[in-house]
């Protein structure tokens, strides 16, 4: 089984922005809630490995028999790195105190997993949180947008459906200025997609 090929939480472009933002942040400890097969952790670590930042990977791996949970976590960790600054926490994110970390990526598997942590988030001192808008999950998308609308979360960046919220933090990749529910926000301009490529292909065929 090739762990790296199992699953990607984000697109290549979203990972690029996530890496840039975590590298530029002043966070000392970075936390990946729901580490699963490590795609988010690998991106985070790649961009912080040459700093003194520490990475905390949280998962309970409830889908595995108990005796295989830590061995699987150890295998996932090896795909991220061997540094002692990478920590694995085999625990329920609803009991683990992830609010102690400065930069948190929400990689929740469902509304039931996400909602208790979201409630903890907006009374916490976490500096930056990265949350995706899963359009196939109405409850998570609705709750996320409502929290921004009511000012419980302050959006800073929008990257193809992933929203970075919290305090001001730098991103050195190209962004445009916009507004979301009255909050100023920087967003990555719509990338050229398959529709535009198909039109280019048609124009090429007609030598236009």
Ligand X SMILES: C[S@@+](CC[C@H](N)C(=O)[O-])C[C@H]1O[C@@H](n2cnc3c(N)ncnc32)[C@H](O)[C@@H]1O
* Binding region for ligand X (CB under 6 A): 7, 9, 32, 34-40, 58-63, 92-94, 107, 109, 113
> What is the nearest approach in angstroms of ligand X to the Cβ of residue 12?
13
> What is the nearest approach in angstroms of ligand X to the Cβ of residue 32?
6
Q: What is the three-class DSSP state of 141?
A: helix
Angle at CA of residue 131, ends 124 and 180, nearest 5° = 95
Nearer to ligand X, 62 or 203 (CB): 62
> What is the nearest approach in angstroms of ligand X to the Cβ of residue 44?
9
Nearer to ligand X, 36 or 157 (CB): 36
Nearer to ligand X, 94 or 119 (CB): 94
* Percentages of the chain per state (helix, strand, coil), in multiples of 5: 40, 20, 40
d(CA 208, CA 202): 9
> What is the nearest approach in angstroms of ligand X to the Cβ of residue 207?
44
Query: Which backbone phi and psi does 33 adopt, to 5 degrees?
Result: -85, 115
Nearer to ligand X, 131 or 185 (CB): 131
> What is the nearest approach in angstroms of ligand X to the Cβ of residue 199?
33
Angle at CA of residue 103, ends 7 and 36, nearest 5° = 20
Taking a C-beta distance cutoff of 8 angstroms, is the pair 163, 150 a contact? no
Taking a C-beta distance cutoff of 8 angstroms, is the pair 123, 152 a contact? no
Q: Strand 155-159's sheet: what is its strand order?
A: 86-90, 54-59, 29-33, 103-106, 128-132, 162-166, 155-159, 183-187, 176-180
Count, residues in the chain: 208
Nearer to ligand X, 40 or 121 (CB): 40
Nearer to ligand X, 63 or 179 (CB): 63
> What is the nearest approach in angstroms of ligand X to the Cβ of residue 112?
8
């Amino acid at each position: 089984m090739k762990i790296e090929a199992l699953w990607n939480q984000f697109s290549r472009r979203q990972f690029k922005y996530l890496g840039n933002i975590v590298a530029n942040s002043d966070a000392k400890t970075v936390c990946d809630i729901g580490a699963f097969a490590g795609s988010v952790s690998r991106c985070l670590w790649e961009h912080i490995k040459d700093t003194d930042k520490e990475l905390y990977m949280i998962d309970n791996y409830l889908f595995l028999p108990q005796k295989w949970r830590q061995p699987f976590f150890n295998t996932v960790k090896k795909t991220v790195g061997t540094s002692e600054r990478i920590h694995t926490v085999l625990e329920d994110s609803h009991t683990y105190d992830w609010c102690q970390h400065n930069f948190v990526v929400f990689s929740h598997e469902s509304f039931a997993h996400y909602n208790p942590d979201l409630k903890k988030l907006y009374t916490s001192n976490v500096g930056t949180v990265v949350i995706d808008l899963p359009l196939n999950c109405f409850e998570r998308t609705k709750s996320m947008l409502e929290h921004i609308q009511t000012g419980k979360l302050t959006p800073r960046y929008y990257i193809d459906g992933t929203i970075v919220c919290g305090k001001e933090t730098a991103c050195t990749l190209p962004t445009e200025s916009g507004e979301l529910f009255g909050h100023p926000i920087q967003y990555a301009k719509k990338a050229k997609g398959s529709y535009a490529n198909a039109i280019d292909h048609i124009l090429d065929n007609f030598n236009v």
